[in-house]
Chain A
Amino acid sequence: MRSPGSGTGNGWAVGILGGLALLAPLPLLVPRDDVLNFVLLVLLSITLAQSWNIIAGYAGQVNLGHAAFFGLGALTARTLWIGGTPVLIAMAAGSLVATAFALLIGAAAFRLRGAYFAIGTLALGEILRATVGNVLPEISTLPATSIGAYRLAPRYYLALGLAALSVLAVAGLQRSRLGLGMQAVREDEDAAEATGVSARGLKLRALALSTALAGAAGGVFAYYHISYYPAHPFGPAWTFDALLMTFIGGVGTLQGPVLGAVLYVFLKEYLTVRWVDFHLLIFGALFVAIVLLFPGGLVQALSRVGSGRRRPARRGGAAS
């Protein structure tokens, strides 16, 4: 799926990065924790959605266990950071561990086409969630000294920097040979191979980039939360969040996951307050409807409105 707005991809990149830059002085201008927490959540969501978008939207490989990489990043970073490692190094280590696990699954699953990658990632996510829950059932809480020294601003800037990095990564991908190769593989593997690119190599590189970002996002999560159950970031809800945000906005585009993340976090806050457990039912139905009826998400809808005519329906529709 070529993004409808890909001709203006540069404009979007500049616009989004400019928007993120405007958020930089926020902790000084609005020193309110609730506002900062909310924006931090949006920023973390942008990274999570954008990282899923790289493997699924650009390389066309449906990852149903994205939470595994987010969780691995969180677990590694948290363990190292509480053990005394500087947070940036701990985050980088978490990112590396997530990528290592991803390449293990990917190297096996990408030998074959079809649903193996989706099954493998789903298995990895669920098995890690169960195993981490079994092995580390206790809640992870920061030591009292760290709680005393806890400041929101560094967490906020880390999330902001990572969100900007994820946007830069995708913007760079759109224009590079690497990104074009991934999109060729997504559209038609045989044709891509015929032009001399290695489909498997491209998929693995997309996976590495995607999971490195997801793992780093997990690191921010681990650094941000005072206490959480270690199995929590491995939960399938994180994967679902990434899928839904990307699809709301527009899969395989630069701006889609950003728009989707902003909209989704607002909607979720609103719906969670109104219908505590019910919001997932609504989001599940919404997601199914988008996949089947509006596979291009908001970006596609906006471009239809913008161009004033219907684009010809894509063959078969959806998430390729």
Chain B
Amino acid sequence: MTPELTVLAQQVVLGLLLGGLYGLAAAGLSLVFGVLKVLNVAHGELIMLGGYGAYWLFARLGVDPFASLLLVIPGALLAGAVLYLGLFGFVVRAHEHTRVKNSLLVGFGLALSLHALAVRLWTADDRSITTTYGGAVLSVGPIAIPLIRLASLAVALALIGALHLLLARWRWGKAIRATAEDWQAALLTGIDVRRAYLLAFALGTALAGAAGTLVSVGYSISPSIGLEWTLKALIVVVLAGLGSMLGTFAAGLFVGVAEALSAAAFGGPYREVVGLVIFLVVLVLRPQGLFGRGQ
């Protein structure tokens, strides 16, 4: 391989690894939006808080970040349930048209509050979890794959797979999908729609917590990462449409690679622009509606 090609391949691999986390971040947002018709623009802040949860467990108690998933995920489930009961449960009472608008506004206010809270609790500095195995690298020819990010990708994929099974097989998983499809019909068949909302929101928050943990170990966290992650997740959801968790994950990988390629082509400072371009291209090419179900 020529040196240029090696650099490009390396970038693509790193983009793929990061893209897995975009997919995980987007899955939670997509689940909540698909089921509750609530667009939680504070999703990135939930990811940020999940990251700080793992960071705290590591810094205070020395819990390995991958092991801390076993604590962060249940914690986030609980936090999601509380957030639903205390806040978003009121948003879903509104009519669908008003509901989306109100969720955008409430989410935006919540995002600012959580950001301020995180600055207060942990200062505005960047933090990351540095484990003893953090520097380990898998070499494939001239390409170096950071093991910890590879493990994160594997965990993300496993979580998406688990979610997929949960929605496909579990009794309440089916109830959640039925509610997403048509809540009125679901209600008529005797499904407790409010409980399906609660479960979906809690699951979405748990996914955000898991994503945050993986971000804190392979990358870094600070109170201001929330909006960035919300945006990545939104772009992925716009690209993937609703309905398929595996499709969302694949779209996450795509966005990761697209960013890497655009950074290689136009230089690092412009890598963020690719998200906007994807958004516009998707709107122009698929005007029938992306939030419609995947075909």
Contacts and interface: CB of A to CB of B under 8 A. Distances in A.
Interface in A60-90: 60, 62, 64
- Closest 5 CB pairs between A and B? A284-B113, A134-B269, A280-B116, A287-B109, A316-B98
A264 interface: no
A114 B287 CA distance: 12
Q: How big is the A interface, by class?
A: 35 or more
Contact of A62 (B95, B105, B114): B105
Interface stretch (B8-16, B149-157, B195-203, B230-238): B230-238
Contact of B105 (A127, A236, A318): A318
A237 B255 CA distance: 27
Contact of A236 (B94, B98, B227, B283): B227
Contacts of A60: 101
A109 B41 CA distance: 17
A127 B234 CA distance: 13
B109 A319 contact: no
Interface of A: 60, 62, 64, 104-105, 108-109, 111-112, 114-116, 118-120, 122-124, 126-127, 130-131, 134-135, 236-237, 239-240, 243-244, 247, 277-281, 283-285, 287-288, 291-292, 315-320
Interface of B: 39, 41, 87, 90-91, 93-95, 97-102, 104-106, 108-117, 119-120, 227-228, 230-231, 234-235, 238, 268-270, 272-273, 275-276, 279-280, 283-284, 287, 289, 291
A104 B94 CA distance: 31
Nearest to A286: B109
Given A123-B231, A277-B119, A316-B95, 7 more contacts: A62-B105, A114-B100, A119-B234, A127-B273, A134-B268, A278-B116, A287-B108
Contacts of B270: 131, 134-135
A319 B105 contact: yes
Contact of A281 (B99, B117, B275): B117
A135 B289 CA distance: 34
Contacts of B90: 292
B102 A318 contact: yes
B108 A281 contact: no
A318 B100 contact: no
B102 A116 contact: no
B39 A115 contact: yes
B102 A317 contact: yes
Contacts of A285: 109, 113
Contacts of B104: 62, 64, 115, 118
A289 to B, nearest CB: 9
Given A64-B108, A123-B231, A108 B283 contact: yes
A207 to B, nearest CB: 15
Contact of B101 (A111, A112, A318): A318
A217 B116 CA distance: 26
Nearest to A315: B95
Contacts of A123: 231, 234-235, 275-276, 279
A62 B105 CA distance: 8
7 contacts: A118-B104, A127-B231, A127-B275, A239-B108, A287-B105, A287-B112, A316-B93
A288 B273 CA distance: 30
A300 to B, nearest CB: 16
A112 B287 contact: yes
A284 B116 contact: yes
User: Which of A105, A135, A278, A316 has the most B CB atoms < 10 Å from its CB?
Assistant: A316
A286 to B, nearest CB: 8
Contact of B120 (A124, A135, A281, A284): A281
Contacts of A104: 280
B115 A111 contact: no
Given A111-B287, A116-B283, A131-B273, A288 B110 contact: yes
Given A64-B41, A130-B228, A319 B102 contact: yes
Contacts of B116: 277-281, 284
Given A131-B269, A134-B269, A284-B116, A62 B41 contact: no
A64 B227 CA distance: 11
Nearest to B283: A108
A277 B235 contact: no
B112 A280 contact: yes
A233 to B, nearest CB: 16
Contacts of B106: 288, 291-292
A108 B289 CA distance: 12
Nearest to A281: B116
Contacts of B269: 131, 134-135
Contacts of B284: 108
B120 A277 contact: yes
B30 to A, nearest CB: 13
Contacts of B100: 114-115
Contacts of B113: 280-281, 284-285, 288
A282 B120 CA distance: 12
Contacts of B97: 316, 320
A118 B100 CA distance: 10
B235 to A, nearest CB: 7
Contact of A126 (B93, B109, B228): B228
